[in-house]
Amino acid sequence: MADKKPPPTPEPLPEIFGSFKIVLPADDMNKPKDDKPTEQPLRRD
Amino acid sequence: MAVTYAAALKTSRMILVRDHINNQTTQGASTGTASAGKLVIGTSSLSGATGVLWTGTLSNPCGTVSGSVLTFTAPISATVTGAGTQTAALAALRTSADADIVTGLTVGTSGADVILTSTSLTNGQTVTFSGSPANTITHG
């Protein structure tokens, strides 16, 4: 009786490495809100 | 015109960020009960439990504040829980109760808030933030 070959062992998944360098924006609390509608460029026909 | 905060105020704000991540009872004073927050990496649809691929439990407290920089204690390591193989695109910092503290963090192999050696994450794969380079949040 022929020996059964064991199923091949799946290769381990490579480890993923990470890092983070987050910069929180200094919120511009004194900046007035611009409520003006966006000006549309003049059309030249 | 850009706002400039005093150095001491920047430090206070970063301590507050740390305390919120730790769900500290007395936020800003780093006192009272605290619990380990989480770094969550997900797909482009990351929102709540949706799109979560990987969750790393942070230390408690999550890190140390020096000046305007919060440096997270490393390593942060866990295995991917998302099904199959999916692409990581967004990340968030959350409390232990999954309340979002910092969201909208981009994930990529370069030019992103969170840098991974590969954004293709497969179920069971280990993702490690070794601390080299340091994992930081800096007050702008």
The 10s digit of each residue's pLDDT in B17-39 is 999 999 988 878 878 889 999 99
Is the pTM higher than 0.90? The answer reads no
Domain ranges of chain B: 7-138
Query: Over the stretch A5-32, which tens digit does the pLDDT of each residue have?
Result: 888 887 889 999 999 999 988 765 555 5
What does residue B13 show for φ and ψ, rounded to 5 degrees? -65, -40
> Using a CB-CB distance cutoff of 8 angstroms, which residues of chain B are in contact with residue A31?
1, 3
- Shortest CB distance from A19 goes to which of B121, B126, B135? B135
Strand B76-79 with B126-129, pairing: antiparallel
ipTM field: 0.90
φ and ψ of A5, to 5 deg: -75, 135
Please tell me which of the candidates A13, A20, A23 has its beta carbon nearest to residue B122: A13
